[in-house]
């Protein structure tokens, strides 16, 4: 199956700093990538949809100025958590979705990034 990587796998930062998380599709071109946030013992909450070459579409309640998403190429999307605070501590997971040649809608998940803000 298709492989999606995420980097870093975990990060600890001080309150007020910014953190960048990378999501890469390693063996296919991802026209669309999704970013999710998952708090402990909760479900995956869709934050935004990232399409290559265009602005991301954010879900209601997600601050676009705080969670900056860039999808500059068909294999890379980045999520930057700006001015991170302890309440931003969470498990961030990306997924990639390709329409090219696909006859179904399967998304491929990255391994996730554990963010802890002190």
Partner 1 sequence: GENVEQHPSTLSVQEGDSAVIKCTYSDSASNYFPWYKQELGKRPQLIIDIRSNVGEKKDQRIAVTLNKTAKHFSLHITETQPEDSAVYFCAANFNKFYFGSGTKLNVKP
CB of 38 to partner 1, least distance (A): 9
CB of 112 to partner 1, least distance (A): 6
Return the SS3 of 56.
coil
Is residue 82 involved in binding partner 1 (CB under 8 A)? no
Give the whole-angstrom CA distance, residue 90 versus residue 86.
Answer: 9
Is residue 89 involved in binding partner 1 (CB under 8 A)? no
Helix (H), strand (E), coil (C) string for 91-107 = EEEEEEECCCCCCCCCC
Binding residue for partner 1 (CB under 8 A) from 13, 20, 29, 44?
44
Give the whole-angstrom CA distance, residue 96 versus residue 23.
Answer: 9
Closest CA to 115 of 5, 4, 21, 2: 21
Binding residue for partner 1 (CB under 8 A) from 26, 106, 116, 118?
106
CB atoms within 10 A of CB 30: 29
Is residue 116 involved in binding partner 1 (CB under 8 A)? no
Total residues at interface with partner 1 (CB under 8 A): 21
Binding residues for partner 1, per CB under 8 A?
Answer: 34, 42-46, 49, 59-60, 91, 93, 95, 104-107, 109-112, 114
């Amino acid at each position: 199956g298709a492989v999606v990587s995420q980097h870093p796998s975990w990060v600890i930062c001080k309150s007020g700093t910014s953190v960048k998380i990378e999501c890469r599709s390693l063996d296919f071109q991802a026209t669309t990538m999704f970013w999710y946030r998952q708090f402990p013992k909760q479900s995956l909450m869709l934050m935004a949809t990232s399409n290559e070459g265009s602005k991301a579409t954010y879900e209601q309640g997600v601050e676009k100025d705080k969670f900056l998403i860039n999808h500059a190429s068909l294999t890379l999307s980045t999520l930057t958590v700006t001015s991170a605070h302890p309440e931003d501590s969470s498990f961030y997971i990306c997924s990639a979705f390709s329409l090219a040649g696909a006859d179904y809608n399967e998304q491929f998940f990255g391994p996730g990034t554990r963010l802890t803000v002190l």
